[in-house]
Chain A
Amino acid sequence: MIKRTVDHTSVDEIIDRYDGEKSFLIQVLLDLQAEQHWLQKDALSRISERLEVPLMRIQHIATFYKAFSLVPKGRHQVHVCTGTACHVRGAGRVLHTVEELIDIRPGETDLDLKFSLETVNCLGCCALGPVIEIDGKAHGKVTSGKTAEVLKGYE
């Protein structure tokens, strides 16, 4: 069996930011998620070791919050709002366009790890509907054509 040598430098760097303090566990996980787009098991084991928090506890937290993912996510998070207001303004069509363009369904990530797609229930800016949000930036009043244009802008 090939033994993988795991490089912990990036994880250690995040942990050091918080002085290896237990109570910053969630912050450490959030930083890791933001930097690597997912929480790898090796990394979680390392965090468990250094923060002295049982791995089982970390797994509970990592599966509890939707912000964390235990499978690789794309570099860009695409959220299509399907809340009531966006729904009546054509969110279904927008979602369909996004699915066609990047060829994934909600909850999935494309093979190039470029985009992850999720539907959300309200982004709080109904007047702009239909809305899609990419990496936290909201794009309002999107149409099929505009969606294509917006997605093109991401590498």
Chain B
Amino acid sequence: MSDFTMRIDGREVPAARGQTILEVAGNAGIEIPTLCHHEQLEPHGGCRLCIVELDFGEWTRLVVSCVYQAKPDLEVRTRSGKVDKLRKIILELLLAHAPDSELLKELAAEYGANRTRFEQEPSFCVHCGLCVRYCAEVKGAHAVGFIDRGVRKEIAFLPEIAKEVCEDCKECFPLCPTSYAQAAYVLMDALSTR
């Protein structure tokens, strides 16, 4: 079911109206790294790891592929000097918060990101929002959410609800790129009484 075609990394690929560049690429078997994206969730555009370069007249433009809608005749590059450089910096910033995340370490190797470029400030959560959005959008449970803001923003499980629903679910744990969701849950469970 394709409405038009566009080009990704020099290949002509079919696309449908309403699809994002990320979806079009995925269907064509072209890989774009993502962190905050999840098939079952609304597009979020939080981590910016999935940026790609588009031709834009005589210029090129960097767009976030998980939220950018596919259009006829787009010319997309999933890797380029600019894209790789930005992904590298994004990874270095994320690694300052979650230096031991396996997923981030793998991506860091791929993009030559230096794990210690920025001063380490392990908060472990990288605010991808996967746990929060999954709990709300897929489970409708709202057991975990963000609290506070700016540098103090963090996730928190709401004991009253978490005690009821989390034990039999825990589906957000494997989604978390850093294991922090699980850690936060265990801590909440240990600290709160029924």
Residues of chain A at the chain B interface (Cβ within 8 Å): 45, 54-57, 59-60, 63-64
User: Are A56 and B148 interface neighbours, CB within 8 A?
Assistant: no
Given contacts A54-B142, A55-B142, A57-B142, contact A64 B158 (CB under 8 A): no
- Whether B160 pairs with A55 at a CB distance below 8 angstroms is yes
**What is the CA–CA distance of A56 and B147 in the complex, to the nearest angstrom?**
9
Chain B contact residue count (CB 8 A cutoff): 13
Which B residues lie within 8 Å of A54 (CB)? 136, 142, 145
Interface of A, secondary structure class, is helix
- A selection of 22 A-B contacts at a CB cut-off of 8 Å is A45-B160, A54-B136, A54-B142, A54-B145, A55-B142, A55-B160, A55-B161, A56-B136, A56-B142, A56-B144, A56-B161, A57-B142, A57-B145, A59-B145, A59-B147, A59-B156, A60-B145, A63-B147, A63-B148, A63-B149, A64-B147, A64-B149
CB closest chain-B residue, reference A48 = B142
Task: Pick the residue among A45, A56, A64 that contacts B143 (CB under 8 A).
Answer: A56
Kindly state the separation between the CA atoms of A58 and B144 in the bound complex, as whole angstroms: 12
Shortest beta-carbon distance from A127 to chain B in Å: 31
B146 an interface residue at 8 Å Cβ cutoff?
yes
Once bound together, how far apart are the Cα atoms of A56 and B143, in whole Å? 7
Interface centre among A55, A56, A59 (most CB of B within 10 A): A56
Chain B residues near A55 (CB, 8 Å)? 142, 158, 160-161
In Å, the complex CA distance between A55 and B146 comes to 12
Which A residues are CB-close (under 8 A) to B156? Answer: 59
Q: Which residue on A lies nearest to B154, using beta carbons?
A: A63
Against A, the Cβ 8 Å flags (1 = close, 0 = not) of B147-167 are 111000000101011000000
- Docked complex: B149-194 residues within 8 A CB-CB of A: 149, 156, 158, 160-161
What 4 A-B pairs are tightest by C-beta distance, nearest first? A54-B142, A56-B145, A56-B142, A63-B147
Contact A64 B136, beta carbon cutoff 8 Å:
no
